[in-house]
Amino acid sequence: MFEMKNKKDEFYLLGQEVIEVIPDLRDPAGLGKFVHAASSLREKLQKQKKRIIGELGNCSEMGPLGPTIKFSTEQDVEMLLAGEPVENLTLPIQESYRSGLLRQLRAINAALPAAQERVRTYESNLIAEQASKIKSIDAVRSVFRDTIEAAENLLECLRTQEQLCTLLRKRGFKDPYGNGWWNFQPLEFAWLKGDIHRPSLEFYIESRSNSIGLDREKISS
């Protein structure tokens, strides 16, 4: 069932085929490059926000504000999400430096939620797409199939053991102190019937088979 390799390897129980078919989504140059780019933009906006707040702290509250500021925060957000440097969001010379910083801060505050949502969306879509591909690979499915088969074998053994314990009790093997070796242990009973901490093995086998898309009737065939 298992191809034993050097136990010093982190994934020594996995076959080489399984290891090779799973892409590294954390590789900035790999499939996750769009996620990394979106994350970099978000981090850039966060750093710029911190810088702007610091600069605003050094601005005089009593400085001249100039004429009414005319700009669209929505347009500023679109520019930032398109990669426009926040420093380019400047104001006419007659408007104060402080007002320019306020414009930049408002734009960043409005852009950050969209930047965060972009990271979440890119990452979620990438994981869903690649997980769907990996799920269909026989070498990957066989790992889950082995686990389900082992669970089915354990379940059958537990049912056989339950019948033996019942037979012993019916043949007069009483256990007034609860120390009989033929009694079910709590973990064995939980595997067979389930308890408040875990479902039964039968429920696990069914749900795990469904999640990976395996026909339970064909697993042991």
User: Cβ–Cβ contacts within 10 Å for residue 58, how many?
Assistant: 8
Dig out the tokens for 13 from the structure: 């129980």
CA 173 to mean position of chain CA atoms: 51
- What is the reported pLDDT for 71? 65
Q: Smallest Cα–Cα separation from 148: which of 194, 203, 199, 105? A: 203
Report d(CA 169, CA 174) in Å as an integer: 6
pLDDT in tens, 79-127: 888 888 888 777 655 457 778 888 899 999 999 999 999 999 999 999 9
What pLDDT is recorded for position 84? 85
Q: Which residues of the chain have pLDDT under 50?
A: 62-68, 94
Contacts of 99 (CB under 8 A, 6+ apart): 65, 66, 69, 91
pLDDT at 94: 43
